[in-house]
Structure 1
Amino acid sequence: MSTTPPVLAAELAQAWADIQRYHPELPDLAAPESLIGESSSACGAELSFERLLHEAVHGIAAARGVRDTSRAGRYHNRRFLAIAEEMGLDHSDEPHASSGFSLVSLNPEAKKRYRPTMERLQRALKAHTAATAADTKRSFRGPAARHGSSGGGVRVKAVCDCGRNVRVVPSVLAQAPIVCGGCMKPFRIPEVALTAAAS
């Protein structure tokens, strides 16, 4: 069993702490492991420091009580963009029709500020990719895992106490809690959804 995922989780947590030094209102990252293995999302195509900073924008929006997305979290609005710009992310084009201002990139000042953090995280990501590739050669992980699905399987709705919801593969949620940025309670899958997914 590879020890790389915990190392990557630790580097993600450290990178998040580096962001918090500049943005103290950013809540703690409850489960860095939840970002590992996600090959796609409404928030970006692959795991990187830029994507982590993007997720931090959502964290600050939640801390401020700002609704920064719509359309089930896919469309990133101008409130998202305003916080992104505060945090060193730019969006040079008009909003995308379906994802809005989701595709943000680091501005030169942020690149300079976070260079050591980005270099550390990049090394951890490379090691994780190499270990994952080696693990894939030694074991059968199923077609969904091989084709980039996070955990493989059907996504079901998980809810939190304040009524927010996310779509998640039950096995991913079983690995570690995913905490709501609004109420700081863990998302849970209602029994009805679990029964439907199993059938």
Structure 2
Amino acid sequence: MSTTQPVPVLAAELAHAWADIQRHHPELPDLATPESLIGESSSACGSELSFERLLHEAVHGIAAARGVRDTSRAGRYHNRRFLAIAEELGLDHTDDPHPSSGFSLVTMNAETRRRYRPTAERLQRALKAHVVANATDTKRSFRGPAARHGSSGGGVRVKAVCECGRNVRVVPSVLAQAPIVCGACKKPFQIAEALTVAASA
């Protein structure tokens, strides 16, 4: 029987990669819960977890540390303040912003790729192992309706919001493991339906 624990292993690799970014950018705050990035999906920030996505999140982290408002429109539109910090971290963007997400689609430049290559490759191996470990033989096991209808992660993603209005789609079981904290307002994301019930109580 396998004793592999893919989430803790991947979380450790995310923490290692984050620490490497901190080595080059010491003002970057610590990553409170690496697990929160596993299974988090944000169309504004990019849905696929990768080292490049981690650098994107680091831009938000540095913006929060500096007290810079780097997004608007409930966190969807990444403004030029976001872009300026992204450039400090070695991320490039085309000249024109996206109509709805602004400068969110940043990519590593050649120097940044060289700087972080060993760390990025190590994280990529951990991500691949995580995907393989979570792949299920549907002929031999039953995972419920969420899996049959194509939901990733074995659960239905729901909307969670923070105090400043940003939102993410997350599997409730992931949120239950530890709070997911907004990089902008430092408040935890909460499931929208739960907030509605609390407000009406």
Q: TM-score, normalised by structure 2?
A: 0.83
Residue in 1 aligned with 2:69? 67
- Greater Cα offset, 64-73 or 183-192: 183-192
1:41-64 deviations in whole A, cap 9, x for unaligned? 310130000000000000000000
Residue in 2 aligned with 1:142? 145
Q: Is the 8 A contact 1:4 1:128 kept in 2?
A: yes
Amino acid corresponding to residue 33 of structure 1 in structure 2: E
* Aligned residue among 123, 141, 156 for 1:152: 156
Question: Which structure has more RCO (C-alpha within 8 Å, separation ≥ 6)?
Answer: 2
Unpaired runs of 5+ residues, structure 1, are: none
- Partners of 1:136 and 1:59 lie apart in 2 by 39
Q: TM-score, normalised by structure 1?
A: 0.83
Shift of 1:85: 0.3
Residue in 2 aligned with 1:78? 80
1:63-89 deviations in whole A, cap 9, x for unaligned? 001111111111111000000000010
Q: Is the 8 A contact 1:156 1:167 kept in 2?
A: yes
TM-align CA RMSD = 2.7
- Partners of 1:191 and 1:143 lie apart in 2 by 19
Q: Is the 8 A contact 1:38 1:150 kept in 2?
A: no
Amino acid corresponding to residue 154 of structure 1 in structure 2: V
- Partners of 1:7 and 1:38 lie apart in 2 by 17
Residue in 2 aligned with 1:132? 134
Kindly indicate whether residue 117 of structure 2 is the aligned counterpart of residue 122 of structure 1.
no
Shift of 1:177: 1.3
Amino acid corresponding to residue 65 of structure 2 in structure 1: A
Residue in 1 aligned with 2:36? 34
Kindly indicate whether residue 98 of structure 2 is the aligned counterpart of residue 103 of structure 1.
no
4+ residue runs over 6 A deviation: none
Percent identity of equivalent pairs: 70
- Partners of 1:136 and 1:29 lie apart in 2 by 35
Amino acid corresponding to residue 98 of structure 2 in structure 1: H
Residue in 2 aligned with 1:47? 49
Shift of 1:154: 3.2
Q: How many residues align?
A: 193
Q: Is the 8 A contact 2:90 2:108 kept in 1?
A: yes
Residue in 2 aligned with 1:14? 16
